[in-house]
Amino acid sequence: MPLLDRNGAKDNAWIVSEDGTSDAEKIIVSFAHVKEALAGNGRGRRIGVIIANTVKLAELTPYLSEIDLIAIRFPAYGDGRGFSIAKQLRNAGYQGILRASGPLIADQFAYALACGFDEIDLPDAQAARQPFEQWIKAASSISQTYQRGFGTQNILDARRAARATGK
């Protein structure tokens, strides 16, 4: 499935192998298999996990330092739970790759990035209907918003900076 990040199309170096039986160097396993995949990872290959948006942060916490990628499923664009899970993971200090996986729409790209996602894994049909150029454009349609702690650009800090320079 097509993958994009804030710069546009991206090669997918990860192989989804739900039960972890693949020999690939970078594999994404299901949440049910993450424990055994990490335990059996003698040769230092990279392990990622794909989770439903009902998995709780506490269930992931024991593995965070060892997992290089967390893919969060979006069953539908209208189901925003994945945004909160991503934000919680970043708040908990998770520094690996965060991937949103599912039929998001271009207008959610900025939100996904602000909540801490790095990349979006789109179904083929979705990517065909909404070319990546639309995603890149949509990501910058609002240059600054009001929430602090969601990405670098926000109006409250810009006002504070303007106050500091006496403007």
Partner 1 sequence: MYRYDEFDARFVRERVAQFRDQVARRLNGSLSEDEFRPLRLKNGVYLQLHAYMLRIAIPYGTLSSRQLRQLALIGEKYDRGYGHFTTRTNMQFNWPRLRDVPDILDLLADVEMHCIQTSGNCIRNVTADHFAGIAADEIEDPRPTAELIRQWSSLHPEFDYLPRKFKIAVTGSAQDRAVTKAHDIGLRILRNAKGEIGYEVMVGGGLGRTPMIAKTIRHFLPKADLLTYLEAILRVYNLEGRRDNKYKARVKILVHEIGAETFASLVEEEFAKLDGPSIAADPEEVARIAAYFAPPPYEKLPARAPKFEAAKAKNRGFATWASVNLFPHKVPGYAAATISLKKIGEAPGDVTSEQMRVLADLAEKYSFDELRITHAQNVVLPYLKQDDLFDVWQALVAADLASANVGLITDMIACPGLDYCSLATARSIPIAQAVAERFADQQRQIDIGELNIKISGCINACGHHHVGHIGILGLEKSGKESYQITLGGDATLNAAIGERLGPGLDAEDVPDAIESIVAVYLKHRAPSEPFIETVRRIGLEPFKAIVQEKLHAPA
Smallest gap from residue 108 Cβ to partner 1 (A)? 7
Question: From the CB of residue 67, how many other CB atoms can be counted at a distance below 10 Å?
Answer: 20
Size of the site for partner 1 (CB under 8 A): 44
Residue 34 interacting with partner 1 (CB under 8 A) = no
Written as six digits, the tokens of 27 are 């594999």
Q: Which residue has the tokens 């609002």?
A: 142
Contact segment (CB under 8 A) with partner 1 among 13-21, 28-36, 94-102, 132-140 equals 132-140
Q: What is the C-alpha separation between 35 and 151, in angstroms, rounded?
A: 31
Written as six digits, the tokens of 44 are 């230092």
- Residues facing 50 on adjacent strands: 30, 71
- Helix, strand, coil tally for the chain in percent (to 5): 35, 20, 45
Binding mask 44-83 for partner 1 (x = CB under 8 A): ---------------------------------xxxxx-x
Q: Which of residues 99-118 bind partner 1 (CB under 8 A)?
A: 105-108, 110-112, 114-115
Residue 84 interacting with partner 1 (CB under 8 A) = yes
Written as six digits, the tokens of 127 are 């990517």
Judged by the rule CB under 8 A, the positions of this chain that interact with partner 1 are: 77-81, 83-85, 87-88, 91-92, 105-108, 110-112, 114-115, 129-131, 134, 137-138, 141-151, 155-156, 158-160, 163
